């Protein structure tokens, strides 16, 4: 066996091992769409905060702005989850793989602890009225979830997680810029990450 053939076979074996140990059904395009959803939510929130008169005309004088902000965030979250699930399932079927296997279960467990913790802390902040710190908390714990789950999926997720954590820490120092950082982290960075994953692994 020639050395070139040996290297090719070793590369194929390595590729098979990575596919069996990593959840690669995540679609890069879903990351782009999630980022777009987040940017749209950011723009809506910015409009609510900086155009109070227009918002009151559209939605009424007795508008509960914090509750509306929570609803926008939940809609963005739900839209992102549904999009991610549908596109991952489509990619898995195209590659003749199962979306629900031991690797995806490990990934779900790894990300669920920081996500649930961050969600509970953010909800407590919302109830207590500490609205300016919620964006920073979400960024930090989302970043922790990405770094924890990166061993089960694309390596780029770890870099994205670190950047999200950094933005969250900046948000704690400058809470008045929470909305801007939220849009940057969940919007712009997600679009860039999704595009990189798509170009590197799918195109």
Q: pLDDT tens, 172-187?
A: 999 999 999 999 999 9
In whole angstroms, what is the distance from residue 27 CA to residue 126 CA?
Answer: 32
- Map tokens 């954590």 to a residue: 165
Rounded to an integer, the average pLDDT of 4-30 is: 61
Write a three-state SS string for 115-133.
HHHHHHHHHHHHHHCCHHH
pLDDT at residue 145, as a whole number: 94
Of the pLDDT bands very low, low, confident and very high (cuts 50, 70, 90), residue 34 is very high
pLDDT at residue 2, as a whole number: 54
In whole angstroms, what is the distance from residue 196 CA to residue 202 CA?
Answer: 10
Helices 189-197 & 156-173 angle (0-180, nearest 10) = 170
Residue 138 clears pLDDT 60, i.e. is over it? yes
Please indicate, yes or no, whether the overall pTM of this predicted structure exceeds 0.95. Answer: no
pLDDT at residue 122, as a whole number: 92
In whole angstroms, what is the distance from residue 60 CA to residue 55 CA?
Answer: 7
Collect all residues with Cβ–Cβ distance below 8 Å to 153 and sequence separation of at least 6: 22, 23, 24, 26, 107
Residue 61 clears pLDDT 80, i.e. is over it? no
pLDDT at residue 51, as a whole number: 67
For 58, the token pair is 């559209």
Helix (H, G, I), strand (E, B) or coil at 61: coil
In whole angstroms, what is the distance from residue 131 CA to residue 129 CA?
Answer: 5
Residue 96 clears pLDDT 90, i.e. is over it? no
Closest CA to 24 of 105, 80, 99, 111: 99
């Amino acid at each position: 066996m020639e050395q070139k053939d040996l290297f090719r076979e070793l590369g194929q074996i390595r590729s098979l091992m990575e596919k069996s140990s990593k959840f690669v059904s995540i679609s890069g395009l879903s990351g782009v769409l999630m980022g777009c959803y987040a940017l749209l939510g950011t723009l809506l929130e910015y409009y609510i905060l900086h155009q109070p008169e227009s918002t009151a005309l559209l939605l009424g004088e007795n508008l509960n702005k914090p509750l509306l902000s929570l609803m926008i965030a939940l809609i963005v979250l739900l839209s992102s989850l549904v999009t991610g699930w549908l596109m991952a399932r489509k990619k898995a079927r195209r590659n003749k793989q199962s979306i629900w296997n031991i690797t995806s279960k490990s990934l779900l467990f790894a990300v669920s602890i920081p996500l649930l913790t961050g969600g509970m802390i953010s909800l407590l902040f919302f109830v207590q009225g500490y609205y300016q710190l919620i964006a920073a908390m979400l960024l930090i714990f989302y970043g922790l979830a990405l770094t924890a789950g990166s061993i089960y999926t694309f390596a780029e997720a770890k870099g994205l997680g670190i950047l999200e954590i950094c933005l969250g820490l900046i948000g704690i120092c400058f809470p008045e810029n929470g909305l801007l950082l939220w849009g940057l982290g969940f919007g712009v960075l997600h679009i860039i990450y999704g595009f990189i994953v798509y170009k590197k692994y799918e195109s």
